[in-house]
Structure 1
Amino acid sequence: MPQQVRAVVAATRDAPVTVETIVIPDPGPGEVVVDIAACGVCHTDLHYRQGGINDEFPFLLGHEAAGTVEAVGEGVEDVAVGDYVVLNWRAVCGRCRACSRGRPWYCFATHNATQRMTLTDGTPLSPALGIGAFADKTLVHQGQCTKVDPRAEAAVAGLLGCGVMAGLGAAINTGEVGRGDSVAVIGCGGVGAAAVAGARLAGAARIIAVDLDPKKLEWATGLGATDTVRADQVDVVAAVKELTGGNGADVVIDAVGVPQTFTQAFYARDLAGKVVLVGVPTPEMTLELPLLDVFSRGGAVKSSWYGDCLPSRDFPMLVDLYLQGRLDLAAFVTEKIGLEDVEDAFARMHQGDVLRSVVVL
């Protein structure tokens, strides 16, 4: 039978979120109901609340989550009742042109649950990134569930569902950071700090954290940065070059996503180095670069979608590294809160006071 549970809903553009009672239908074909244990507060949720993604209000927010499979629909084979899972917003189809060419991390036909969760009056909800996990339970497609080791605390494991995976993957998957490389990360919030951790995990010899905020640089140092640069006090490009023998870094990751930081990243890399854009620009932003500079510097300029991750491959591996003590995912959890605290958590995130607030249910 359909269930009624608590959930955080953004009813209209820029209005404070509220905790409402919502209806979760029984899972249909290919669908799964997950009992949520924890869900991180991501900047993408704030974008939904502000109307920056689309205007399909009301939104059911939350997407960086871990929990336990409670019920499965017809034809579900990937998971079973009782499985401990991290939710992901890239349920690969296995059939599109990217998947058929062996590049499922670029899947062009990712999918979500078919049925809609609703308010008690029947109003359909739009789940954030097809998940909607600021809730006691949620309905997702089976492909959005990735089984991981149940020994990993949900408040930690769930962060792989979005921001932390985006940063780690920007370094490891997109940037292909190698042993002995030099890496600069511009912007050291949640995603940038994760890129620092990913560069360290990959064996980078020098990791340069760049930010305006000394608190974020301190976080980055704790996660593996060897050097820090205050972007408001020095010329970023000159500082990165000075720290890399005058050459520039092998990989520069822009975790901010504005024209100024991308331009800094472009010129702060070594010849034939890589620039990785993982920060998300807004639609009106434009970029102008001399085409000769693009040609003469060589290398690669790449965007990183979700850290170019494949959840079925990357989530279990990263959880295992966390359990082995080789990846400090717990360092990203600044505070644990309740559903009723999400609006205040948005304010703290916007002010740069936290790496991640995590709703614990």
Structure 2
Amino acid sequence: MSQQVQGVIARAKGEPVRVETIVVPDPGPGEAVVKVQACGVCHTDLHYREGGINDEFPFLLGHEAAGVVESVGEGVTEVAPGDFVILNWRAVCGQCRACRRGRPWYCFATHNAKQRMTLLDGTELSPALGIGAFAEKTLVAAGQCTKVDPAASPAAAGLLGCGVMAGLGAAINTGAVGRGDSVAVIGCGGVGGAAIAGSRLAGAGRIIAVDIDDRKLELARGLGATHTVNSRQADAVEAIRELTDGFGADVVIDAVGRPETYRQAFYARDLAGTVVLVGVPTPEMQLELPLLDVFGRGGALKSSWYGDCLPSRDFPLLIDLYRQGRLDLDAFVTETIPLDGVEQAFARMHGGDVLRSVVVF
């Protein structure tokens, strides 16, 4: 029997979001209904509201979430009612060419629930990243549920569902940061901060945080940065080189995703170093680099999709590290807010005052 719950809806481009009643159907084959306990407010949700992803309004926003499985549909074996799970937006298919080659973190055919949640009048909703978790309950594909230790704080655990995993994975998975490596992270919001935390976790020797906001640089120190650079006051490339004996960093992570910051990352890396792009560009952005420099500097230029994570592998491991006190996920939770506080959280996001606002039910 379908259920009626409250959820945050974006009805049109640029309009303030509002809490409305939505209808959640019973799970069909391969699906699960999850009672959401916490959901982070991510920049991607704001992009949806602004029409920056697509124009399939109305959207049910929210995707960085953790909660408890309430019910499952036919054929579901991955999770069962009562399991504490983190939701992910890359449920791997197991059949595409990436999965068959043993690289499921690149799965090219990830899937979502087949049924749609709706408004009371039957209007179908587009769930953000196939999740839609600014809601008391949500319907997802069972493969989007990753079971983890239920002792973890839902507010902290849910952040692995997107931004924090993207940053941690950009350092550990994509950048392959190793013991003693030098790392520079450009942009120290939630994703960049997580890249710093991931670099520390991987044993990096020197971790350089770059931002234009001293408040974010101070937070970066708390997450593991050994040095900070305010790029309003100093040339970021020169500063990174000075801090790495004139060579540049082994790995430079661009957590902003602009042509200007990518060029900084490119020239701030050591010869044969690695650049990782994890910040998301907008469609109109263009990049120009001298091709001879691309050739002559060697190394690798990589893009990081969701931190190149495999949720079934990475989420339980990271939650275990969190429970052991080795990964401070709580540090990313700046504030907890009610469901009707999402619009105000978007405004604070613009002001740079928070790493993450988290809706707690």
TM interval, shorter chain, is over 0.9
Q: Which residue of 2 aligns with 1:82?
A: 82
Q: Which residue of 1 aligns with 2:13?
A: 13
Q: Which residue of 2 aligns with 1:360?
A: 360
- What's the CA shift string for 1:36-64, capped at 9, x where partnerless? 00000000000000000000000000000
Distance 1:282 1:303 in 2: 14
Report 1:324-339 matches (<5 A).
Answer: 324-339=324-339
Distance 2:101 2:121 in 1: 45
Q: Which residue of 2 aligns with 1:234?
A: 234
Report 1:24-43 matches (<5 A).
Answer: 24-43=24-43
Q: Which residue of 1 aligns with 2:181?
A: 181
Matched, 1:66 2:66: yes
- What's the CA shift string for 1:171-196, capped at 9, x where partnerless? 00000000000000000000000000
Distance 2:316 2:216 in 1: 28
**Residue 350 of structure 1: CA displacement?**
1.4
* Overall identity of the aligned pairs, in %: 79
Aligned with 1:229: secondary structure? strand
**Residue 294 of structure 1: CA displacement?**
0.4
Aligned with 1:44: secondary structure? helix
Report 1:220-299 matches (<5 A).
Answer: 220-299=220-299
Report 1:40-55 matches (<5 A).
Answer: 40-55=40-55
**Residue 68 of structure 1: CA displacement?**
0.3
Q: Which amino acid aligns with 1:150?
A: P
Q: Which residue of 1 aligns with 2:139?
A: 139
Aligned with 2:340: secondary structure? helix
**Residue 265 of structure 1: CA displacement?**
0.1
**Residue 233 of structure 1: CA displacement?**
0.7
**Residue 273 of structure 1: CA displacement?**
0.2
Distance 2:322 2:222 in 1: 15
- What's the CA shift string for 1:200-225, capped at 9, x where partnerless? 00000000000000010011000000
Aligned with 1:192: secondary structure? helix
**Residue 122 of structure 1: CA displacement?**
0.2
Q: Which residue of 2 aligns with 1:341?
A: 341
Distance 1:153 1:209 in 2: 27
**Residue 3 of structure 1: CA displacement?**
0.1
- What's the CA shift string for 1:126-150, capped at 9, x where partnerless? 0000000000000000000000000
Aligned with 1:238: secondary structure? helix
For structure 1, the residue ranges without an aligned partner over 5 or more in a row are none
Distance 2:21 2:71 in 1: 20
Distance 1:116 1:354 in 2: 32
**Residue 345 of structure 1: CA displacement?**
0.2
Aligned with 1:228: secondary structure? strand
Distance 2:290 2:359 in 1: 46
Q: Which residue of 2 aligns with 1:152?
A: 152
Distance 1:347 1:83 in 2: 34
Q: Which amino acid aligns with 1:287?
A: L
Distance 1:337 1:289 in 2: 43
Distance 2:266 2:339 in 1: 41
Distance 1:100 1:292 in 2: 36
Distance 1:101 1:158 in 2: 29
**Residue 115 of structure 1: CA displacement?**
0.2
- What's the CA shift string for 1:79-124, capped at 9, x where partnerless? 0010000000000000100000000000000000000000000000
Q: Which amino acid aligns with 1:276?
A: V
Q: Which amino acid aligns with 1:302?
A: K
Q: Which amino acid aligns with 2:312?
A: S
Q: Which amino acid aligns with 1:163?
A: G
Distance 2:234 2:353 in 1: 23
Paired residues, number: 361
**Residue 8 of structure 1: CA displacement?**
0.3
Q: Which residue of 1 aligns with 2:206?
A: 206
Distance 2:264 2:32 in 1: 44
Q: Which residue of 2 aligns with 1:307?
A: 307
Q: Which amino acid aligns with 1:304?
A: S
C-alpha RMSD of matched pairs (Å) = 0.3
Off by >4 Å, runs of 4+ in structure 1: none
Q: Which residue of 1 aligns with 2:114?
A: 114
**Residue 321 of structure 1: CA displacement?**
0.2
**Residue 351 of structure 1: CA displacement?**
1.1
Distance 1:341 1:310 in 2: 31
Aligned with 1:92: secondary structure? coil
Distance 1:350 1:172 in 2: 28
Aligned with 2:90: secondary structure? coil
Distance 2:12 2:292 in 1: 47
